[in-house]
């Protein structure tokens, strides 16, 4: 049988309740809704982390992020955190004859400590299994605001080299920042992290000078990534391929293309979600037009849960109305509660599945092993510590999935989900991220919730089920093996 193609479409900060097929109000997402109607819609699929870098690290390596202490939200000039000899999803598929490509947001680090933005950037995605790569290095709120094509900055004029510095003070006195020139802003920052170099009227995190011709245009970013993804698909339609299409929406700063500005009355966050939905529709249509939709497994999901206020005064909180980005879940991006890691997930593969819904428990860390099985690859010698074969669950055959999985809030604070239970050990830190209005899950006491009867995690039942607490504590600890997370909870003092 012909090997299936794989496409992962990974949204950035999209919540469990953000699509109309997951209950969103006032944000129409017709393309994802019909993708769900033709495919399988999952209600218990989890990113491994409530922030981007650790979550994406797991997706590509099949390892839990807390095993790698460097898997934390990275600066825009941070080194690559995937080790040279680490197995990766693209690498595995490439070895099996797949054409592999990444287009969109990277944020797993570049270079080995001192990036030469004006020369060759090594390692780049090309060194961890991708044949083709067209990325933004980190996030759209971090400098440098340029695309990296392969291992070089795209459209760079050698006479106008780029300099990038992360730190507290602006080293470039001639470069305006949000702090020094607030009158120049078209979008205002709401914190002191987002008040550095101004690019396209938006203050970003980090300082940058030069590279004018290479600077991206926020308004055309969606089409840039989409067009390149469609070209990648067309170019490789005769061979098996894997495309990691990493959308930048709805991460801050939320700047839709002109055709989507005002598409909703939920503010720019609603508009960029509608834009994202359109991009997904375009990909599915393109697969059909190329005659390869039946044999292409497309998985749509998100790297972590939602946040409304994340560094800019874009009024998304005020304009959200009755729409609930996390749906019925508590917490959100950064959080240990369900809103942090439980994400909308849809699989589309018309020739391979019967449409339906699934409550199977699945983690994104499972994609690598499951894809290997679906592609018929015998990944001999692979060290499958964390990644489980969930191919049958993903294809809608197995309704159960995993017995348990581990997720983490910001700073590697791990949480264990087992059957209907979720257990959050006690962790130091504020219970609420005050500027973002998100409940973190930090508490001086252990928390145990029965998600079957209490999906909103309102009733801590630790005292009623001490045996469950004891067993889940022991299980979490045994999963740590030789690599406990850097943030140890009070339950694991050594």
* Binding site residues, ligand NG6, CB under 6 A: 12-13, 51-52, 73, 107, 139, 141, 191, 193, 251-252, 304, 310-311
Name which of 304 and 442 has its Cβ closer to ligand NG6: 304
**Beta strand pairing status for 198-199 and 202-203?**
antiparallel
Q: What's the CA angle centered on 371, arms 247 and 8, to 5 degrees? A: 10
Among the listed residues 492, 342, 332, the one whose alpha carbon sits nearest the alpha carbon of residue 426 = 492
The minimum distance between CB 61 and ligand NG6, in angstroms, equals 17
**Beta strand pairing status for 40-42 and 356-358?**
parallel
Among the listed residues 427, 416, 413, the one whose alpha carbon sits nearest the alpha carbon of residue 490 = 427
Name which of 10 and 117 has its Cβ closer to Ca ion: 10
The minimum distance between CB 1 and ligand NG6, in angstroms, equals 37
Q: Which residue is nearest to ligand NG6 (CB)?
A: 52
Q: How far apart, in Å, are the Cα atoms of 18 and each of 98, 207, 283, 358, 451?
A: 33, 33, 20, 18, 20
Between 292 and 311, how does the x/- string for binding to Ca ion read (CB under 5 A)? -----------xx-------
The minimum distance between CB 139 and ligand NG6, in angstroms, equals 5
The minimum distance between CB 86 and ligand NG6, in angstroms, equals 21
Contact 441, 424 (CB under 8 A): yes
Question: What residues numbered 42-81 form the site for Ca ion, per CB under 5 A?
Answer: 52
Find which of ligand NG6, Ca ion, none residue 170 binds, CB within 5 to 8 Å per kind: none
The helices-and-strands tally (H runs, E runs) of the chain is 10, 22
Find which of Ca ion, ligand NG6, none residue 73 binds, CB within 5 to 8 Å per kind: ligand NG6
Going through 370-428 in order, the beta strands assigned E by DSSP cover 404-409, 413-418, 421-424
Name which of 196 and 303 has its Cβ closer to Ca ion: 303
Neighbours of 258 (CB within 10 A): 8
The alpha-helical segments, DSSP class H, found in 146-289 are: 221-235, 267-289
Name which of 48 and 370 has its Cβ closer to ligand NG6: 48
Q: Which residue is nearest to Ca ion (CB)?
A: 52
The minimum distance between CB 47 and Ca ion, in angstroms, equals 9
Written as six digits, the tokens of 183 are 């009158």
- DSSP, collapsed to helix, strand or coil, labels residue 183 as helix
- Binding of Ca ion at residue 366 (CB under 5 A)? no
The minimum distance between CB 105 and ligand NG6, in angstroms, equals 8
Contact 293, 284 (CB under 8 A): yes
Inter-helix orientation angle 221-235/267-289, to 10°: 20
Name which of 307 and 472 has its Cβ closer to Ca ion: 307
Find which of Ca ion, ligand NG6, none residue 363 binds, CB within 5 to 8 Å per kind: none
Find which of Ca ion, ligand NG6, none residue 107 binds, CB within 5 to 8 Å per kind: ligand NG6
Find which of Ca ion, ligand NG6, none residue 191 binds, CB within 5 to 8 Å per kind: ligand NG6
Count of residues engaged in binding Ca ion, rule: CB under 5 A: 5
Name which of 127 and 338 has its Cβ closer to Ca ion: 338
The minimum distance between CB 224 and Ca ion, in angstroms, equals 19
- DSSP, collapsed to helix, strand or coil, labels residue 238 as coil
Q: In this structure, is the dihedral angle defined by the CA atoms of residues 69, 75, 80 and 86, taken in order, positive or negative?
A: positive
The minimum distance between CB 13 and ligand NG6, in angstroms, equals 5
The minimum distance between CB 251 and Ca ion, in angstroms, equals 6
Q: What's the CA angle centered on 337, arms 434 and 49, to 5 degrees? A: 95
Alpha carbon dihedral 344, 311, 69, 475, in 10-degree steps, equals -40
The residues with which 424 forms a beta bridge, in sequence order, are 447
Q: In this structure, is the dihedral angle defined by the CA atoms of residues 10, 16, 22 and 26, taken in order, positive or negative?
A: negative
Residues with Cβ within 8 Å of 440's Cβ and at least 6 positions away in sequence, in order, are 331, 334, 335, 336, 409, 410, 429, 430, 431, 432, 433
The residues with which 57 forms a beta bridge, in sequence order, are none
Name which of 312 and 423 has its Cβ closer to Ca ion: 312
Name which of 115 and 307 has its Cβ closer to Ca ion: 307
The minimum distance between CB 333 and Ca ion, in angstroms, equals 7
Taking the C-alpha atoms of residue 300 and residue 343, their distance in angstroms, rounded to an integer, is 10
Name which of 224 and 310 has its Cβ closer to ligand NG6: 310
The minimum distance between CB 104 and ligand NG6, in angstroms, equals 12
Name which of 39 and 305 has its Cβ closer to ligand NG6: 305
Name which of 193 and 473 has its Cβ closer to ligand NG6: 193
Between 5 and 44, how does the x/- string for binding to Ca ion read (CB under 5 A)? -------xx-------------------------------
Find which of ligand NG6, Ca ion, none residue 335 binds, CB within 5 to 8 Å per kind: none
- The site for Ca ion (CB under 5 A) is made up of 12-13, 52, 303-304
């Amino acid at each position: 049988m012909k090997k299936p193609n794989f496409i992962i479409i990974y949204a950035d900060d999209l919540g469990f309740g953000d699509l109309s097929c997951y209950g969103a109000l006032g944000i129409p997402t017709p393309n994802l809704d019909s993708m769900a109607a033709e495919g399988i819609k999952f209600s218990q699929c989890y990113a491994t982390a409530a922030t981007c870098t650790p979550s994406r690290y797991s997706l590509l390596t099949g390892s839990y992020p807390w095993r790698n202490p460097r898997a934390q939200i990275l600066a825009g000039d941070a080194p690559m955190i995937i080790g040279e000899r680490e197995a990766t999803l693209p690498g595995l598929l490439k070895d099996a004859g797949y054409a592999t490509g990444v287009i969109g947001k990277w944020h797993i680090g570049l270079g080995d400590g001192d990036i030469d933005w004006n020369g060759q950037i090594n390692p780049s995605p090309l060194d961890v299994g991708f044949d083709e790569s067209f990325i933004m290095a980190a996030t759209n709120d971090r400098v440098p605001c340029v695309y990296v094509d392969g291992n070089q900055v795209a459209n760079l004029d050698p006479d106008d080299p780029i300099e990038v510095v992360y730190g507290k003070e602006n080293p470039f006195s001639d470069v305006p920042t949000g702090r020094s020139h607030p009158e120049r802003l078209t979008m205002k920052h709401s914190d002191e992290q987002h008040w550095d170099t101004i690019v396209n009227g938006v203050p970003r995190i980090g300082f940058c000078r030069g590279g004018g011709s290479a600077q991206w245009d926020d308004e055309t970013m969606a089409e840039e990534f989409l067009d390149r993804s469609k070209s990648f698909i067309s170019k490789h339609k005769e061979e098996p391929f894997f495309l990691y299409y990493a959308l930048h929406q709805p991460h801050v700063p939320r700047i839709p293309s002109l055709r989507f500005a005002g598409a909703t009355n939920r503010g720019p966050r609603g508009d960029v979600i509608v834009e994202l939905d359109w991009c997904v529709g375009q990909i599915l249509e393109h697969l059909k037009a190329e005659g390869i939709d039946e044999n292409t497994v497309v998985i749509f999901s998100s790297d972590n849960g939602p946040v409304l206020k994340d560094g800019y005064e874009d009024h998304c909180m005020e304009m959200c109305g009755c729409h609930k980005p996390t749906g019925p879940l508590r917490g959100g991006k950064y959080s240990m509660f369900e809103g942090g890691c439980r994400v909308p997930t849809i699989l589309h593969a018309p020739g391979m599945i019967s449409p339906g819904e699934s409550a199977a428990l699945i983690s994104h860390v499972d994609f690598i092993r499951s894809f290997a099985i679906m592609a018929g690859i015998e990944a001999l010698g692979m060290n499958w510590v964390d990644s489980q074969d969930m191919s049958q669950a993903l294809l809608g055959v197995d309704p159960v999935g995993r017995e348990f999985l581990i997720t983490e809030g910001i700073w590697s604070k791990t949480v264990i989900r087992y059957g209907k239970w979720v257990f959050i050990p006690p962790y130091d830190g504020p219970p609420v991220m005050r500027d973002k209005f998100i409940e973190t899950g930090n508490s001086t006491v252990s928390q145990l919730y029965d998600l079957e009867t209490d999906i909103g995690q309102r009733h801590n039942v630790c005292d009623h089920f001490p045996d469950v607490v004891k067993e889940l504590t022991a299980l979490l600890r045994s999963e740590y093996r030789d690599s406990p997370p850097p943030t140890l909870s009070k339950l694991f003092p050594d």
